[in-house]
């Protein structure tokens, strides 16, 4: 039997794994949201649990098609996420600039760089990018062919860490409903 948990706290993860070993944990993780790096990924490594990042392309932000002039349609969650607000979007586009530069360097698409970066973090990380477009799916699959040397990965990680993402991961109402702890506001 294989099972997993999604967006749980560390205590829940430990208790659940003690009852019936988990195969995987799912949580948001990308260059845009690196929260799992602090505690969840080290605990998964300690317990031998796979990690499945959802929204590995940052709700399309890391694909490179969103720019400072992008406005989201009514009902699009990005329209109420402060990471994509007109005040924060220009700052956060620094990540996209990094991706575009690496895409040119590696002759790949920005989305492929973002996915390859996740794959390079740990061998037990398996991202699940969502798509309804066959061409995007094929492009995403191409991320497995993008490789980073140890020095390239260190360089890319340094560049990504240098960008402190402005805005909250999820809107307050979603955080309150889900029980996910909100990060401190800046």
- Answer yes or no: is 155 within a domain: yes
pLDDT at 186: 43
User: What range does the domain containing 58 cover?
Assistant: 4-178
Which residue blocks in the chain are alpha helix, DSSP H? 10-19, 40-47, 89-106, 110-121, 134-141, 150-161, 172-178
- Answer yes or no: is 185 within a domain: no
- Answer yes or no: is 184 within a domain: no
Per-residue pLDDT of the chain (186 residues; tens, 9 = 90+): 899 999 999 999 999 999 999 999 999 999 999 999 999 999 999 999 999 999 999 999 999 999 988 888 998 888 888 999 999 999 999 999 999 999 999 999 999 999 999 999 999 999 999 888 999 999 999 999 999 999 999 999 999 999 999 998 876 655 554 555 544 444
- Answer yes or no: is 186 within a domain: no
pLDDT at 173: 53
- Answer yes or no: is 77 within a domain: yes
pLDDT at 183: 47
- Answer yes or no: is 70 within a domain: yes
pLDDT at 174: 56
- Answer yes or no: is 126 within a domain: yes
pLDDT at 185: 46
pTM for this prediction: 0.90
Count: domains in the chain: 1
Name, in order, each residue with C-beta under 8 angstroms of 44's C-beta and a sequence gap of 6 or more: 25, 50, 51, 124
CATH of the domain at 77: 3.20.20.100
């Amino acid at each position: 039997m294989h099972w997993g948990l999604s967006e749980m706290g560390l205590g829940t993860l430990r208790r659940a794994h003690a009852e019936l070993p988990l195969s995987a944990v799912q949580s948001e993780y990308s260059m845009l949201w690196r929260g799992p790096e602090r505690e969840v990924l080290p605990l998964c490594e300690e317990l031998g649990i796979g990690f499945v990042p959802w929204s590995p392309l940052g709700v399309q932000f890391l694909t490179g098609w969103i720019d400072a002039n992008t406005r989201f349609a009514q009902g699009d969650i990005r329209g109420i996420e402060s990471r994509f607000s007109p005040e924060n979007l220009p700052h956060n586009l620094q990540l996209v600039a990094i991706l575009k530069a690496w895409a040119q360097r590696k002759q790949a698409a920005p989305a492929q760089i973002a996915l390859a970066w996740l794959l390079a973090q740990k061998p037990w990380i398996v991202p699940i990018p969502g798509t309804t477009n066959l061409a995007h799916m094929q492009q995403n699959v191409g991320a497995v062919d993008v490789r980073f040397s140890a020095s390239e990965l260190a360089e890319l990680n340094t560049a990504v860490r240098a960008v402190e993402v402005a805005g909250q991961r999820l809107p307050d109402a979603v955080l309150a409903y889900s029980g996910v702890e909100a990060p401190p506001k800046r």
